[in-house]
């Protein structure tokens, strides 16, 4: 792996888990410039966001599986159904708690919103001019950012 182009800035960013979303826009400039010029920090930021988003997806799938298990237990009504239902609900609650902790403690939701905005901007740019002109002004401003 390549070396960081500015080890001091790289150590600051590593301490923040490569998250600059909480910084004021006027303070972000130097860090965004560093990400543009430093392949190592950009790769590590991408790795951290991939892990964060993967944890949210995994917790969502786990919660869904526990809800499915609860529904199946209710449908088939086996012996000791109450204990199985309580276990399924406890698993769902734990999965929901983990999902919430990851969403609050990491910048993954911000990264997903940014990715959605970039995708919307690409779609907006490819629309024919007559359709683009029919979009409400406030929506056009949100999409294009200008």
Query: Mean pLDDT of all residues in the chain?
Result: 87
Note the pTM of the prediction, 2 decimals: 0.72
Q: How far apart are CA 145 and CA 48, in angstroms?
A: 26
Q: Are the C-beta atoms of 34 and 6 separated by less than 8 Å?
A: yes
**Cα-trace Rg, the chain:** 22
Tell me which residue has tokens 């991939």: 50
Whether the Cβ atoms of residue 52 and residue 45 lie closer than 8 Å to each other = no
pLDDT of residue 97: 96
Q: From the CB of residue 109, how many other CB atoms can be counted at a distance below 10 Å? A: 15
Mind listing the pLDDT tens digit for each residue in 75-107? 998 888 999 999 999 999 999 999 999 988 888
């Amino acid at each position: 792996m390549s070396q960081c182009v500015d080890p001091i800035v790289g150590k600051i960013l590593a301490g923040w888990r490569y998250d600059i979303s909480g910084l004021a826009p006027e303070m972000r400039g130097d860090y965004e410039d560093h990400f543009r010029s430093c392949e190592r920090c950009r790769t590590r930021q991408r790795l951290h966001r991939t892990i964060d988003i993967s944890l949210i997806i995994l917790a969502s799938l786990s919660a869904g599986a526990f809800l499915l298990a609860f529904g199946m237990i209710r449908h088939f009504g086996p012996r000791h159904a109450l204990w199985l239902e309580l276990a399924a609900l406890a698993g769902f609650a734990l999965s929901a708690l983990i999902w919430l902790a990851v969403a609050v403690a990491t910048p993954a939701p911000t990264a997903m919103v940014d990715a959605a905005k970039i995708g919307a901007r690409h779609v907006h740019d490819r629309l024919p001019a007559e359709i683009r002109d029919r979009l409400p002004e406030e929506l056009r401003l949100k999409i294009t950012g200008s």
